[in-house]
Amino acid sequence: FVDIPETLTPLTTLKEEEFERILGTIHIEGDYKSQRNIALLHLMWGTGIGVEEIVNLEGKDVMPGKQNIIVVGGEYSTRTIPLEDRTAEALNNYQEYCSLRPKVDIGPNTPYFRSRKDGIKRLSSRRTRTIVMELGERVGILNLNPRTIRNSFASRKLSEGSSLEEVAYLLG
């Protein structure tokens, strides 16, 4: 018998239906935030990369039409992450939207996700967490956070037959 400290919280994951419900709350009205948030959620769900890695992505890391992205993790950690078709499509749609608007066009050395449509500020980790939490609240999921989506990715990959080593590599 192992005594589990009360401070630990159980691992939580999202079901695919819950993820779809969250996506369904984002109205595609041609505005920057909607396009960004759809791409952001798909990237989290389809790759499992962490928030810091997401907010540090630049245009050169996500090439249009490619089926992978380059993720720079720790000081010496760079890895290539394959994209699921839906994730690649969401990222391509986002990049196409941005390419038609000079203020948010994604150049090789510009932030991939920005906080505002004026294209000035890189999306912060804090704002990313807030976006995820607010989207979860829209469908009645309280305290949803990027870690839950990351856990969901890992759980899904393992249940699909990926090895622990493969999942560990993808998560960084």
Task: Decide if 55 contacts 132 (C-beta within 8 A).
Answer: no
pLDDT, one tens digit for every residue, the chain (172 residues): 556 555 555 558 899 999 999 999 997 767 888 999 999 999 999 999 999 999 999 999 998 778 899 998 766 678 899 999 999 999 999 999 888 887 888 888 899 999 876 677 899 999 999 999 999 999 999 889 999 999 999 999 999 999 999 999 999 8
Distances (CA, A) of 130 to 24, 75, 81, 148: 18, 26, 25, 13
Return the pLDDT at 64: 73
Please report which helix (H) or strand (E) contains residue 70, including its range. Answer: strand 68-72
Model's pTM, two decimal places? 0.87
Distance from C-alpha of 21 to C-alpha of 168, rounded to nearest angstrom: 28
